[in-house]
């Protein structure tokens, strides 16, 4: 018996389910929803026990039917056309339920912690850049949102609290800024309806979005055994957000997922790439859609000493960069130019959303001519000078604020890093320090806070290091 069946059975038992009840659907199957185009979409719910459930889709007039089981559970798969709408779906088990104003288009799952959750209106005294313009001018009936209410849970749930809304001044104001800018760009580029399923929780740990089975590979992770633990740890409780905020959505037709998380894992960065791989592969396996696209934001620079964290968050950024090469059909948006020294919630959410959209447009939708994020690849040492090379660098790399940069450091065999001079020629960066005659290693912007200045084709390059000295912070 799969987790969805268990969850549905538990829900019905708890609620004193009525065997004669009409069709009941999870909250995300409702009027105003967006379905993924040109695929087979699953629709599930409960009806009268052992009853015939008929489903009619208005876009093709096709009739589907299935029979609910002894617990009243049913599932039907409907074929969706090319983007368009509005359409309707009618479900009938003796009593009709009609869902209308349905659009067919591109659907994306949006998840993570507070920088994904952060709405256009911002948090208290923490604004989003450009918010007023979007609230005033962003109305678009073909861009629709579904926001999942926070719900840490000990066991897998079958439903969520939330509703579909079209983009208007009120809904835009309350919706994720990162996800909104992502969806807005897809709408502008693809000219099709876009649906965004937001399931995010500020301060959440990567471990919270995974099952206990996936986390067996991480013995340091302590799984909850009672509701008291969940209530205490909430969004940081392993498995709790998977159970309450992700599991109910699994199976809904999506094109792919976007992710913005990592700040909570800064103080335990060492296994983050593996944790991400575990999570993404787990989501893909359960959705059953193959290796669907997964795009994510690298956390932006911020001075973590302000919250008394004695860690270097560049190590977490490094793990995020590493994950890109470990996970198939996966790319990272670099945010070295989008940080805020005194705020963990940077204002430049448009850079995050557009960066994710650019990756999706180029890699999922095949849009040509878009820029790409260059990545450090190798180093050669010529005397007292280090020569750095980059991959994915079709154009020259350059410093965004002049001809030199003060964000590079060089170390010799003593592992002591010194400020260095850096200059560019072609797609190579040359680095040297008068304090280091025989260089061994180079670091770029490898600190909590840095306003990245190394760019390629208009996009920032991630912070990086050439060494593996984890004890040198």
For 254-280, the pLDDT digits (tens) are 999 999 999 999 999 999 999 999 999
pLDDT score at 21: 61
Tally: H helices and E strands in the chain: 10, 24
Residue 56 belongs to a domain: yes
Whether 203 and 66 map to the same domain: the answer is no
Quote the domain boundaries for residue 138: 104-363
Together in a domain, 128 and 266? yes
pLDDT-above-70 percentage for the chain: 96
Residue 27 has pLDDT above 60, yes or no: yes
Q: What angle do CA 22, 75, 15 make, to 5 degrees?
A: 45
**pLDDT tens track for 334-378:** 999 999 999 999 999 999 999 999 999 999 999 999 999 999 999
State CA 61 to chain mean position distance: 36
Alpha helices by DSSP H, 128-176: 131-137, 169-174
Structural domain includes residue 246: yes
Residue pLDDT, tens place only, 111-158: 999 999 999 999 999 999 999 999 999 999 999 999 999 999 999 999
Nearest to 208 by CA among 220, 226, 223: 223
The pLDDT of residue 397 is: 95
User: Token pair for residue 205?
Assistant: 């740990």
The answer to whether residues 280 and 132 belong to one domain is yes
Contacts of 383 (CB under 8 A, 6+ apart): none
Residue 417 located in a structural domain: yes
Kindly state whether residues 258 and 387 are assigned to the same domain: no
Residue 370 domain-assigned? no
Confidence class for position 18, pLDDT limits 50, 70, 90: very low
Same domain membership, residue 113 and residue 96? no
C-beta separation of 226 from 154 below 8 A: yes
Q: Is residue 10 included in any domain, yes or no? A: yes
Q: Which two tokens stand for residue 277?
A: 């791989």
User: Which of residues 64, 81, 102 is at a domain's end?
Assistant: 102
If asked whether residues 45 and 119 sit together in one domain, one would say no
Q: Tell me how crowded residue 463 is: count the other CB atoms within 10 A of its CB.
A: 25
Do 331 and 394 sit in the same domain of this protein? Answer: no
Shared-domain flag, residues 180 and 292: yes
- Asked if the structure places residue 179 within a domain, the reply is yes
SS3 content of the chain, % helix, strand, coil (to 5): 25, 30, 45
What does the pLDDT look like over 164-200, one tens digit per residue?
999 999 999 999 999 999 999 999 999 999 999 999 9
- Residues 393, 321, single domain; the answer is no
Look up the CATH number of the domain holding residue 287.
3.40.50.1110
Query: Do 109 and 92 share a structural domain?
Result: no
**CA atoms 92, 96, 99, 104: torsion sign:** positive
What are the two backbone dihedrals, phi and then psi, of residue 139, each rounded to the nearest 5 degrees? -55, 130
The answer to the question of residue 265 being in a domain is yes
Answer with the one of 86, 102, 118 that is the final residue of a domain: 102
| 471 in a structural domain | no
| Shared domain check, 227 and 311 | yes
Asked which of 313, 340, 363 is the last residue of a domain, the reply is 363
Encoding tokens for residue 172?
């835009």
Residue 2 has pLDDT above 90, yes or no: no
Number of domains composing the chain: 3
Q: Are residues 97 and 128 in the same domain?
A: no
The CA distances from residue 41 to 193, 386, 432, in Å, are: 16, 54, 57
Structure tokens at 469: 């000295």
For residue 381, the model assigns a pLDDT of 98
Query: For position 43, which CATH number holds?
Result: 2.60.40.10
């Amino acid at each position: 018996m799969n987790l969805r069946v268990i969850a549905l059975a538990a829900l019905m038992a708890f609620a004193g389910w009525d065997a004669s009840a009409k069709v009941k659907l999870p909250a995300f199957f409702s009027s105003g929803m967006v379905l993924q185009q040109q695929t087979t979409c699953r629709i599930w719910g409960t009806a009268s026990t052992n009853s015939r459930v008929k489903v009619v889709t208005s876009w093709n007039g096709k009739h589907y039917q299935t029979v609910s089981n002894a617990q009243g559970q049913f599932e039907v798969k409907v074929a969706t056309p090319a983007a368009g709408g509005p359409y309707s779906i009618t479900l009938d088990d003796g009593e009709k339920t009609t869902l209308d104003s349905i659009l067919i288009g591109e659907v994306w799952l949006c998840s993570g912690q507070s920088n994904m959750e952060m709405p256009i209106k911002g948090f208290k005294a923490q604004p989003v850049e450009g918010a007023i313009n979007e609230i005033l001018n962003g109305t678009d009936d073909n861009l629709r949102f579904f926001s999942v209410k926070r719900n840490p849970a000990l066991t897998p749930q079958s439903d969520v609290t939330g509703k579909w809304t079209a983009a208007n001044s009120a809904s835009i104001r309350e919706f994720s800024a990162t996800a909104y800018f992502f969806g807005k760009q897809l709408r502008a580029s693809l000219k099709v309806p876009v649906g965004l399923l937001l399931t995010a929780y500020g301060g959440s740990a990567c471990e919270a979005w995974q099952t206990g089975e996936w986390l067996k590979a991480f013995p340091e992770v302590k799984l909850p055994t009672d509701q008291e633990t969940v209530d205490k740890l909430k969004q940081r409780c392993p498995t709790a957000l998977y159970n309450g905020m992700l599991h109910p959505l699994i199976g809904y037709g999506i094109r792919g997922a976007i992710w913005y998380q990592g700040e909570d894992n800064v103080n335990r960065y060492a296994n983050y790439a593996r944790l991400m791989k575990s999570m993404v592969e787990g989501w893909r396996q359960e959705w059953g859609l193959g290796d669907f696209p997964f795009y994510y934001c690298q956390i932006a620079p911020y001075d973590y000493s302000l919250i008394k964290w004695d860690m270097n968050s560049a190590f977490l950024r490094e793990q995020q960069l590493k994950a890109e090469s470990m996970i198939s059909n996966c790319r990272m948006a670099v945010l070295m130019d989008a940080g805020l020294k005194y705020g963990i919630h940077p204002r430049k959410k448009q850079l995050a959303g557009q960066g994710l959209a650019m990756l999706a447009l180029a890699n999922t939708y095949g849009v040509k001519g878009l820029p790409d994020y260059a990545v450090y690849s190798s180093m050669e040492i010529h005397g007292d000078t280090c020569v750095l090379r980059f991959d994915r660098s079709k154009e020259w790399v350059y410093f965004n604020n002049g001809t030199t940069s003060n964000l590079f450091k060089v170390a010799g065999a003593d592992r002591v890093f010194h400020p260095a001079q850096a200059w560019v020629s072609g797609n190579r960066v040359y680095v040297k320090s008068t304090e280091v005659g025989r260089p061994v290693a180079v670091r770029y912007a490898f600190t909590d806070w840095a306003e990245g200045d190394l760019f390629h084709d208009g996009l920032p390059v991630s912070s990086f290091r050439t060494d593996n000295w984890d004890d040198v912070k």
